Homo-oligomer: A and B are copies of this chain.
Amino acid sequence: MQIVTKTIKISTKGNPDLINITDEVVDILNTSKLKKGSLTVFVVGSTAAITTFEYEPGLRRDVQDFFEKLIPSNKNYHHDATWGDANGFSHLRASLQGPSLAVPFDNGKILLGTWQQIVLAEFDNRSREREVVVQVIGE
Residues in B whose Cβ lies below 8 Å from that of A56: 79, 82
Contacts of A8 in B (CB 8 A): none
B residues less than 8 Å from A38 (CB atoms): 40, 135, 137
Distance of A18 from chain B, by nearest CB (Å): 10
Residue from B3, B94, B101 within 8 A of A36 (CB atoms): B3
Q: A44 near B95 (CB under 8 angstroms)?
A: no
Instruction: State which residues 98-120 of A face B: CB under 8 Å.
Output: 98-104, 106, 111-113, 115-116
Inter-chain contacts of A30 with B (CB < 8 A)? none
Q: How many copies does the complex hold?
A: 3
Complex Cα distance A100/B46, Å? 17
Asked whether A62 lies within 8 Å of B88 as measured between CB atoms, the reply is: yes
Contact assessment for A104 and B40 in the assembled complex, using a CB-CB cutoff below 8 Å: yes
CB neighbours (8 Å) of A65 from chain B are 78
Q: Which residues of B contact A33 (CB under 8 A)?
A: none
- Whether A125 is near chain B, meaning CB under 8 Å from some CB there, is no
A91 touches B59 (CB 8 A): yes
A-B contact pairs, 18 of them (CB 8 A): A1-B1, A1-B3, A40-B104, A46-B54, A52-B95, A54-B79, A54-B91, A59-B78, A59-B88, A62-B78, A62-B79, A63-B92, A63-B95, A66-B71, A98-B98, A99-B116, A106-B133, A111-B133
